[in-house]
A = this chain, B = another copy of it.
Amino acid sequence: MPQELYFEDFYVGQKFHSIGGAKVTAEEIKEFGQKYDPQPFHLDEAAGEGSFFKGLAASGWLTAAIVMRLRVQNITVAGGMIGAGVEEMRWTLPVRPGDTIHTEIEVVGVRQSTSRKNYGVVRTRTLAFNQNNEVVLRSTVNFLAPLREE
C-alpha cells in the first residue's frame, strides 16, 4: 500500500514521476471520441488525414483524463484527491495511437484553505510526455489535501 499523504507531507519542489506509462490505443481514442468529442479526427483514421491533425488524434480531454489517472496512481492523498480547479492547461502536441504517456508532477505551492479549515490546497505543475519525451500536455492544477489530525 502506498503511503497516504496529508497536507503537511507536501512541499514546494516535491516531484512525482509516474511509474510506468499509459499506452493510448486507436480503439480508446475512437471510443472516447464517440462518447465525448465526436469530431472526425477523433473517430476515424481516413477522416483524420484530411484534417488539422493530419491523422487520428486523441481528444485533448482524453489526454487530460489519462493524466488524471496517472496523477491518482502516483499521489495517494488521504481520503482521495479532490480537485480544486485548473489554472491552466495546454495541449502542446497531438497524442497519437500507440503513444505512451508519462507524467512529471511538481508541487509549486502549498497553502491552508480559507474556506475549508481542515484542508490545505496543493498547487501542482504537470508535464505529460510521450515516449519520445516530447511534452504533449502541461497544466497547473490545484487539489485539496486534509490536515493531519493532531
**Counting CB contacts under 8 A, is A13 at the interface?**
no
The docked-state distance in angstroms from the alpha carbon of A48 to that of B108 is 29
Are B69 and A38 within 8 A (Cβ)? Answer: yes
The docked-state distance in angstroms from the alpha carbon of A61 to that of B40 is 22
The docked-state distance in angstroms from the alpha carbon of A41 to that of B41 is 33
Give the shortest distance, in Å, between A135 (CB) and chain B (any CB): 13
Are A36 and B85 within 8 A (Cβ)? Answer: no
Number of interface residues of A (CB under 8 A): 34
Q: A61-B61, A87-B88, A89-B85 are in contact. Are A52 and B80 (CB under 8 A)?
A: yes
Q: Which residue in B38, B39, B65 is a CB contact (below 8 Å) of A37?
A: B65
Are A88 and B90 within 8 A (Cβ)? Answer: no
Contact residues, A55-111 vs B (CB, 8 A): 59-61, 64-66, 68-69, 72-73, 79-83, 85-91
Are A39 and B72 within 8 A (Cβ)? Answer: yes
Are A80 and B51 within 8 A (Cβ)? Answer: yes
Q: Which residue in B59, B79, B85 is a CB contact (below 8 Å) of A51?
A: B79
**Counting CB contacts under 8 A, is A35 at the interface?**
yes
Q: A36-B69, A86-B86 are in contact. Are A79 and B52 (CB under 8 A)?
A: yes
For the A-B complex with A36-B68, A39-B72 known, give 14 more contacts whose Cβ atoms are closer than 8 Å: A37-B68, A38-B73, A41-B80, A52-B79, A52-B80, A52-B82, A59-B68, A61-B61, A61-B65, A64-B64, A65-B65, A83-B91, A86-B86, A86-B90
